[in-house]
Amino acid sequence: MAALNELSIEEAAAKLASREISSVELTDACLDRIDATDGEVGSFLEVTRDLAKAQAAEADKRLASGNEVTTLTGIPIGLKDLFITNGVRTTCSSKILENFVPRFDATVTAKLKRAGAVMIGKVNMDEFAMGSSCENAALGNTRNPWNPAYVAGGSSGGSATAVAARQCLGTIGTDTGGSIRLPASYCGVLGMKPTYGRVSRYGMIAFASSLDQAGPFATTARGAAAILEAIAGHDALDSTSIDAEVPPLVPSGSIDLGGLKIGVVPELLSVGLDADVESAVDGALATLTELGANKSEVSLPTSEYAVATYYIVTSAEASSNLGRYDGVRYGVRVGEEGGLREMYGKTRDAGFGTEVKRRIMLGSYALSAGYYDAYYLKAMKVRTLMRRDFDKAFEQVDAIVIPTSPGTAFEVGSRTDDPLKMYLSDVMTIPANLAGLPAASIPCGFDSAGMPIGLQIITKPLAEAKLFEIAAAYQDATDWHRKAPELKAA
């Protein structure tokens, strides 16, 4: 019998509902696993042990009474440390917010509480969600549980690692250009980015506001779907929130993919795929066709401009969003004895890491007089063309299936001195963000070094239910998602 912390969300929910196990027992199993393994992988910035135990006890009362019970009631969940959490330190893994304790909850945090989930802790990330490896984390780096000499992926590296290491049953991350899907691929779990606006951004500390979107991590499609059902929906506190009903998202029963049209993108298959990635993705496509799907080619001609477009747009928005961290209202304050201007400069120099400073400077340049039209405005026009490319593609197919990344996880430190090479890690994931589409990475194999490979599924706007059906059908036919890394217990 699997240890309690190794259960999927749907398996644990069934056992909790039948009272075969308690939330307190399940939460204790996860806390024990964190104690035994987090020294090796560094998933958590803060373990909310007392809060988790109290919430687990309350969940058991709800389960016993049968009142207000959801699939997530009693399930231990980790939160990426950019979701505002009342009374719990929220840092964005940055020195500038190292001691920031908010006085309210983000909408995502509040919805998880209402669903009865147990918040087991705040998980690590690249500083202000800027990075592809979780090496830009000012408060401690996260390592890949399959091999700690390799990166976990970013920016939601802690979210992916916590699920892969079976430290909790699910987590919430954010995805601006691949920050859920890339670490999910590198760590061998399922990570899903919903349609932009499907989940409220209220209380989610911003990187690039027109792209940031929260989404779930889990071992299974059904577990991830249950999390998304709990956190999705319109929120009047977020002007970008979509006012659309959230349909049932959790696939049930046997899934028939007969007649499903899936598209592959030649432009994204010619960017230097590793041979192992190409082989695993070909195998996954073969499995989907065996399940009844029909495969054809579709074109996304503007995808070659995706990386350049993304880094102009996000850097510009970051330079604006991060202007609020000035040492005046909250966070670190340095150099106030020298006057206001000196305090601004010294505070931001001491509080922000190298990558954050780089992107602020790039964004400020792109928005400056004489360059706005040449860079930011042109990037926004390309973004519109990219959305039109996807619209045309989805006239022919129901879903697009491509690799999540050209390669697998790379060694710690191997790309920190080459920002461009690091940025190209996201070449497969960025297009879906620029178009605002739902997309997920699911495990589909391993490379010759034993590192996981991810398969990316992209669907039409608000077609999350279809995406989860495809992912669940694939998982029902394979067992990649059941494999877990072996970690040394402390």
In tens, the pLDDT along 231-288 reads: 999 999 999 999 999 999 999 988 999 999 999 999 887 678 999 999 999 999 999 9
Average pLDDT over the chain, rounded to whole?
95
**Same domain for 251 and 360?**
no
pLDDT of 419 above 90: no
Whether 37 is covered by a domain: the verdict is yes
Q: How far apart are CA 327 and CA 332, in angstroms?
A: 6
**Distance, first Cα to last Cα, the chain:** 23
Listed as own residue / partner, the contacts of 145-148 with beta carbons closer than 8 Å and 24 or more positions apart are 145/37, 145/40, 145/41, 145/187, 145/485, 145/487, 146/187, 146/188, 146/409, 146/450, 146/451, 146/452, 146/485, 147/409, 147/449, 147/450, 147/451, 148/40, 148/41
State residue 1's pLDDT score: 62
| CATH classification of the domain holding 40 | 3.90.1300.10
Report d(CA 343, CA 338) in Å as an integer: 7
CB atoms within 10 A of CB 444: 28
Burial label for 245, CB within 10 Å (0-12, 13-18, 19+), is exposed
Domain count, the chain: 2
CA triple 151-156-13, angle to 5 deg? 115
What residues make up the domain containing 85?
4-259+464-482
Does residue 333 sit within a domain?
A: yes
- pLDDT for the residue numbered 490: 59
Domain-embedded: residue 163:
yes
- pLDDT grade for 337, boundaries at 50, 70 and 90: confident
One domain for residues 318 and 252:
no
Same domain, 324 and 252: no
pLDDT in tens, 95-138: 999 999 999 999 999 999 999 999 999 999 999 999 999 999 99
Is 421 a domain residue?
Answer: no
Give the H/E segment covering residue 86.
Answer: none
pLDDT (0 to 100) of residue 489:
66
What pLDDT score was predicted for residue 488? 75
**Residue 446: inside a domain:** no
Residues 198 and 327 both lie in one domain: no
Pair 241, 331 in one domain = no
- Looking at residue 121, its pLDDT comes to 98
Q: Which two tokens stand for residue 6?
A: 């190794």
Residues 198 and 88 in one domain: yes
Q: What is the pLDDT of residue 331?
A: 85
Domain boundary among 382, 405, 424: 382
Active site residues: 80, 155, 179
Query: What does the pLDDT look like over 260-270, one tens digit per residue?
Result: 999 999 988 76
Residue of 395, 397, 379 whose CA lies nearest to 434: 379
- List the strands of the sheet with 399-403, edge to edge: 44-47, 118-123, 76-80, 170-175, 213-218, 190-193, 439-446, 452-459, 399-403, 261-264, 294-297
CA 255 to chain CA centroid, nearest Å:
26
How far apart (Å, rounded) are the C-alpha atoms in residues 182 and 273? 15
Torsion of CA 80, 84, 87, 92, to 10 degrees: 50
Q: Tell me: do 32 and 177 sit in the same domain.
A: yes
Is residue 61, in this structure, part of any structural domain at all?
A: yes
Calculate mean pLDDT across residues 420-448: 94
Whether 138 and 248 map to the same domain: the answer is yes
* pLDDT of 77 strictly over 80: yes
pLDDT above 90 covers a percentage of the chain that reads 88
